Structure 1
Amino acid sequence: MKKFRDLFSIKTIKSKLILYNLIIIISIAMFVSIFNFISYRKNTIKTAINNSMYHTKNISDRLHIAYEEMLNIVLNCTARKSLFLSINSRNLQTSSGKQLALYGTQVLKDYCAVSGYSEYIAKITLYSKNGVLIQSGFIPGSINDVSWITNSDWFQKEYEKNSSSYQLSLVDSPFLEPSKTKLLPILRTLEYDDNKKNNGWVLLCISSKLYSKTLEQYNDDSAMYCITKEGDVIASVNSGGINGTSIINTLLNKSNNQGYLRVDIDGIDSIVTYYRQPQSGILIYEVIPIKDLSMEHIVIIQTIILLFISCLIIGLLLSILISKKINKPIARLLYSIENISNGDFTRDPKIEGNDEIGTIGKCVNQMSSQIYTLLDTRVEIEKEKKDLEIKMLQAQINPHFLYNTLDSIRWIAMIQKNSGIVQVVTSLSSLLKNMAKGFNEKVTLEKELEFLNDYVIIEKIRYVELFDIDIQISDPVLYKAKIIKLTLQPIVENAIFNGIEPSGHTGVIKISAYTDNSTLYISVYDNGVGISPENLSTLLSKTERVKSSTMSGIGLPNVDRRFKLVYGEDYGIKIDSKVGEYTKITVSLPLEFD
């Protein structure tokens, strides 16, 4: 994995050579791919537009044929005077008149049947001024049909159309029928009626099912709409996912009767092709989203992607093959140098040779051997330096402690001639014994508190119960935590000598231990004289004894330095104090257990 990452690192000559080759190949592949894609996409859209326009015109022509057949029926009825003029309201009471009426009805049925669209003729009605009413169609007739027709809100508009106006409108059915199918009426006055104020008329109502079934029959899964010149939708198919009605006004305002639009519908880039029949005013249009064009679109994309990937792989292999011979010695030398930087100073004979790179390899091997020797020497020196520094710091603590202890024994001998000397000597012996085992040894907190107790026994006898010790451990498990031996003794010693003793009254020393984020904190609190702010800021940096009434700091800088040497600079002592009230010294160290 590392070699693979190195291969594509732009810092190497090999990778740069590969990168330059790939850039050229990728640029050519991208140019060819993009050009092919754009050309194919453009041709696909152009083909889709042509096919859609042809398809739209074909459907429009089929509907126009049906419209012309029905218009011819109406025109024949309005002009056939010999058939209907002989029928009037008087002779309808006679048998011959009834036969004429039945004959007229049959003629209307024959007209419908001959046209081939009888199933879409909802009703054809012939009404003359003399009250004659003849009807046919799939909607049942009624004596109220004339009244319903003439009272419709669209009747007068259709009645007033001139002989050259044949454009259709979508209206509600005026007849009493359950389905209430939308109708497209063709209304013409009778040419042989002399009463110009109350001419008779012929009405043929085309069912909107003619348009919906035609769209369904010839549709190819795209959204298609059929609308009137007023913009009313007669029929539509596959319109669920696209709101194709949003562009009706745009199409109606087009001056030409055939064309296409490239529009955005509901955020979808789409093509709209349309065809309008001038005579009927019916407009057919089809909506095709660009993303739904022929499945060959996906094929060309896959081909382009395959071409691009093939160029990329071939270019990569060629680049690797060419650069391998050139960069192999350099890569081996680089690998050896990286091993050295990671701490592996093993001699690598493979990088040595008779050429310039081989000479560099010999120098690298020599350098590696010298670095290894220098590091070993440096480690030994640092270890020795650290041990000497710790011994020196420990030596600063132990003589001072021994001096105070012997002074205590002297006072006991002078003042008390009793068994108290035994306690002091026993405690002193225990302390010296533990100190002699090693100055850098780690013991449990429990053991450290036992060492501290020996020291406290000695000091309490010396100062005649001048102070009390209060130990609070937040969690019993912390008794097993590891700390450096003789950590607490110098801190408690300073609390006694430089905190409580100068105050002139009985004091309390509180020792507490707790953890936070895998760090062990041990604090020593005393209610003595405290430390002034000016001394507090420099306390840990001073190693000499301060001759004043405040805490001298003897031992504290040493303890802090000792912690930093063992655990690192992030650990050590922190002091918080207020003059005349308290001093709190907190030691921080990593939480460790056996």
Structure 2
Amino acid sequence: MRHKIRHTIKLRISLITVSFSLIIVVFLSTLSFTFFQDYARRSIVQSTEFNLQLIAGMFGQKLTELDMLSKWCVVSTQMAEWLDQESPGAQNSILIYDRLKEVIWNNRSNGYIRRLIVTDAAVSKLLQAGSNMSDSWPVTIYNLPRLGLAGIDAPRVYRECAEDPYAIGEQEQVIPVVRPIRRPGSSERIGYVYLAISADALLDQLINYHMPEDCSLYLTLGDATYRLEKGNFIDISDRIVSSSARKETTLSPQTVVSELRMDKGGTSLLVGCPTGIEGAFLSQSLSARRISAERRLYVLILALISVAVLLFGLLISFLLSRIITRPVLKLRRKIDAISESDFRSDPGIEWDDELGDIGRGINDMSGKIVSLLENRLADEKKKRDLEYRMLQSQINPHFLYNTLNTIKWMATIQNATGIAELTTALSRLMKNVIKGSRTMVTLKEEFAFLDDYFLIQRYRYGGAIVFEKTLSHKLERVSIPCFSLQPLMENAIFHGIEPKGGTGRISLSVERRRGVVEIVMEDDGIGMSAEKIRGVLSDEEPADPPGLFREIGIASVDKRIKHSCGSGYGLDISSEPGLFTRAVLSVPYILLDAPPPPDNASPDEAPPDEVA
């Protein structure tokens, strides 16, 4: 036989608690990891951005100061006049050269000026100034074309970082600035100014700038991108596969966060800040190690939180098991005790909670089972006593009928008609009572039964009681609970007429009001008080003297009608003390078509010896 797997409440509580805890852990871990990862990246981006803004500002300030020299050459009228003269002469050339050196000397960043060259459009004149020019090839009108100044119509400011074309020996990086010089009041080009700014102007700003070892610094000048490697800016423009901007939360809306993909598959996340110079950006890649370290830290924190939540769930499961499992075991032991016929009350299972309510219910059930068993034993005893009394009171009905018929025939022979009538009525009455098995009879049958009962009472009271009845032929087949009218007549005789002196009148009439049939019995006895009526209807008044039926009284009639016909029907009694008592019995208008049983035949239809 296959055994069914049994799941305990403790197991279910534990599974539900642990499952719920796991769901919370997974949800919180996912949410927290996403939030922490975003927070870590944002904090790194913003801290990098803050540092870059400081350096980029210094870059922009330094480049702006140096660019002021090229701008002075463009707007200087002295320079324009010198360039516009075909033969300015040595004196004028010395004057303008001294003026140029003075402007360079007044510039706070003059130490980064590798060389400043001014020439006319035909490259026939030349002015040159700067620092450390002795370490480079001299510039003449013959090697000046290697700068490629001819044809430049627009300024070329900070577009690249290139090697000094006139350097001797170790190459030095410079940032060239080229501007055309125009005749005042005209757009005609009359010359060019070439400013070579040493890359040290930027590198010296990075002396105190610290960043992680796995980070790189990038300089963007125009369309070219350079990476700082070992104190030099290396052009990596041809190695960049793609550069796409990413949406990140930054301190400044001008800060750009982009993802840089290199040709060898490397990917870097860059934070770029403008330097204040058009086309010049300073960028730094984020530290992958730092991001990984913070990610590991957050994962560790989340793992600890998850373990704590799981332990908390297990603790709750353990506490719930103790709170629920122990009381359930006590309740189970009590139920097992009841199944073994131990119905004693156990106050130890009546706790102050929902399980205590169940315990109180079990104790109440035990008490009710005890009461039920006691009532059952009492009922069994009453049943045995009743069976004994019924056995004692059993009389052969046929013997009783034959005896009554014998008395009737003897009275007839002796011309004692009263005895014959009384015996016949009593015989029919007892036959209806003993053999009557139907609960509903017709009004005609109930009236016939009432006639036999009144005949006996009339002889008892010497004919002093008059009985008047009225029954329409149309209402003879109306159904009514059997033995409903006899208790009313009995009440009228014993409680109404007999206390008056034994003489009186009883009237019985039947009327139909729509779907209701009202049977009215009225006597002119002493009447009844309202309290007496309530006692009779509530069965509080004992029958004295005892009537025909021990268990059928006025209240029983009302209850049987309500039970058989409905709560809208029943018995109503009204009385005026000293004048009358009226009992109105209401039943539904329902016709009974079944013919009366043959037991209703009168005993005088056959001689005594023919009654079996």
Q: TM-score, length-normalised on structure 1?
A: 0.42
Structure with higher Rg: it is 2
Q: TM-score, length-normalised on structure 2?
A: 0.41
